[in-house]
């Protein structure tokens, strides 16, 4: 999945509750009221709580404490907004969405270090303490708002008939920007989902916003928070899938993904093995950080320019699979990729000598093969591609060698 597509589903999660409210909101409210008597709780609220609780188990199983705490935060916020946990005034309710935005950003920027240790307790306190403080200061905050309302009415007012203020919207925008700037192999899965949770909290806790139909305002909160739970669940799935199938250093599909692809490969295809030339020199002369940077640089060029699908095979080796092309056509395409890699410059983070670090050139050798009468299985083709790679090394490196 391309990185930009990670934003697609969280965006859909943010839009769906609004569409459901417009087309089915009145019917949902009527159905919920009929069942509320026997259940003693609104089915819509119960569904939202269940969906918010679902990500908790996979988050704990895969040690994603960030998702675990955000899910707990969302449950607490929903119960506070509904008055089920504690009764708070309209000022505290209006402060909950920006508070969630701030806490989600803080939790995201804090490193994952588990839960059952002092770092985990600190992260838990980051979530619990502001909520408790908001409950304790509920009365004084209402008085402060009354005082400021006459001084700064334009700042405290909002764009519509709801309680969302311009300051709150500014915090939402800043939170979105900070999440967008996150980096790391898991950023593209985590940040969109967490921003979706923040946005849905804004939309759901202020049911009087103009985007919600008046006839379905009572369904806005549980609908929005239900999809916040789905967004967190999707994030937990993406992270668990990524850790199983993606290489952590480069972000490319890893060995397990390659093995599953080989098992189902058939028809016309070509395969290649690639290896970074003189990779040991990067580690020995400039440190393992430079070696990691070289791997990331090469992987980035491969992902941007290489045809087919590229996998990190292990160490400094990569595997390419291209369906619908002959080995010769694939070799010609990979030769252009080889030139792209050779044109890149790598500046080591540290240099054992004195002065400004020198810019290094990274080159890659390729071995290409395809199925034949003698090599009729993907694993055999991969073995021939590996032999072609060693031939490219023997001939001087930085070249593409094909063995049909």
> So which residues are the catalytic ones?
316
CA 45 to each of CA 75, 125, 172, 223: distance values in angstroms, whole numbers, following the listed order: 11, 26, 25, 8
27: left (phi over 0), alpha (psi -120 to 50) or beta: alpha
Strand 400-402 with 364-369, pairing? parallel
Query: Is 212 buried (19+), middle (13-18) or exposed (0-12) by CB count in 10 A?
Result: buried
Two tokens, residue 188: 């593209």
Contacts of 71 (CB under 8 A, 6+ apart): 52, 53, 55, 56, 59, 229, 232
Two tokens, residue 195: 């921003």
Strand 345-346 with 400-402, pairing? unpaired
Contacts of 363 (CB under 8 A, 6+ apart): 276, 277, 278, 338, 341, 342, 397, 398
Contact 73, 97 (CB under 8 A): no
Q: Can you tell me the distance from the alpha carbon of 72 to that of 18, in angstroms, rounded to the nearest whole number?
A: 24
Helix axes 217-245, 255-263, angle to 10 degrees: 90
Q: Which of 319, 186, 300 is nearest to 257 (CA)?
A: 319
Q: Can you tell me the distance from the alpha carbon of 96 to that of 103, in angstroms, rounded to the nearest whole number?
A: 10
């Amino acid at each position: 999945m391309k990185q930009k597509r990670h934003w697609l589903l969280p965006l859909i999660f943010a839009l769906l509750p609004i569409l459901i409210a417009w087309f089915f909101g009145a019917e949902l409210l009527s159905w919920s009221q009929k069942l509320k008597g026997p259940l003693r709780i609104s089915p819509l609220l119960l569904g939202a709580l269940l969906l918010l609780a679902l990500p908790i188990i996979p988050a704990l199983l895969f040690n994603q404490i960030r998702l675990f705490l955000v899910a707990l935060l969302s449950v607490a916020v929903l119960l506070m907004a509904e008055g089920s946990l504690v009764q708070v005034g309209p000022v505290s309710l209006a402060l909950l969405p920006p508070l969630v935005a701030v806490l989600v950003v803080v939790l995201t920027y804090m490193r994952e270090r588990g839960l059952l240790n002092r770092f985990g307790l600190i992260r838990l306190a980051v979530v619990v303490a502001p909520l408790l403080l908001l409950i304790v200061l509920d009365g004084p905050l209402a008085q402060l708002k009354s005082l400021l309302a006459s001084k700064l009415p334009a700042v405290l007012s909002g764009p519509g008939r709801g309680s969302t203020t311009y300051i709150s919207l500014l915090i939402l925008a800043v939170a979105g920007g900070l999440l967008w700037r996150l980096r790391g192999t898991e950023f593209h899965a985590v940040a969109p989902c967490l921003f979706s949770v923040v946005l849905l909290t804004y939309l759901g806790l202020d049911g009087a916003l103009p985007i919600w139909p008046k006839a379905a305002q009572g369904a806005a909160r549980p609908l929005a928070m239900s999809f916040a739970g789905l967004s967190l669940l999707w994030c937990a799935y993406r992270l668990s899938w990524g850790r199983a199938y993606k290489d952590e250093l480069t972000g490319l599909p890893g060995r397990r993904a390659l093995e599953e692809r080989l098992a189902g490969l058939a028809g016309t295809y070509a395969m290649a093995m690639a290896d970074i030339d003189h990779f040991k020199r990067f580690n020995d002369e400039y440190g393992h950080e430079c070696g990691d940077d070289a791997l990331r640089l090469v992987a980035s060029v491969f992902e941007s320019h290489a045809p087919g699908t590229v996998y990190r095979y292990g160490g400094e080796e990569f595997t390419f699979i291209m369906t619908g092309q002959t080995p010769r056509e694939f070799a010609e395409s990979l030769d252009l990729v080889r030139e792209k890699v050779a044109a890149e410059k790598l500046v080591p983070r540290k240099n054992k000598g004195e002065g400004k670090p020198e810019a290094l050139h990274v080159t890659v050798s390729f071995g290409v093969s395809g199925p034949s009468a003698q090599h009729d299985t993907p694993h055999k083709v991969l073995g021939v591609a590996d032999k072609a790679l060693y031939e490219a090394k023997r001939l001087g490196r930085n070249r593409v060698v094909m063995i049909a």
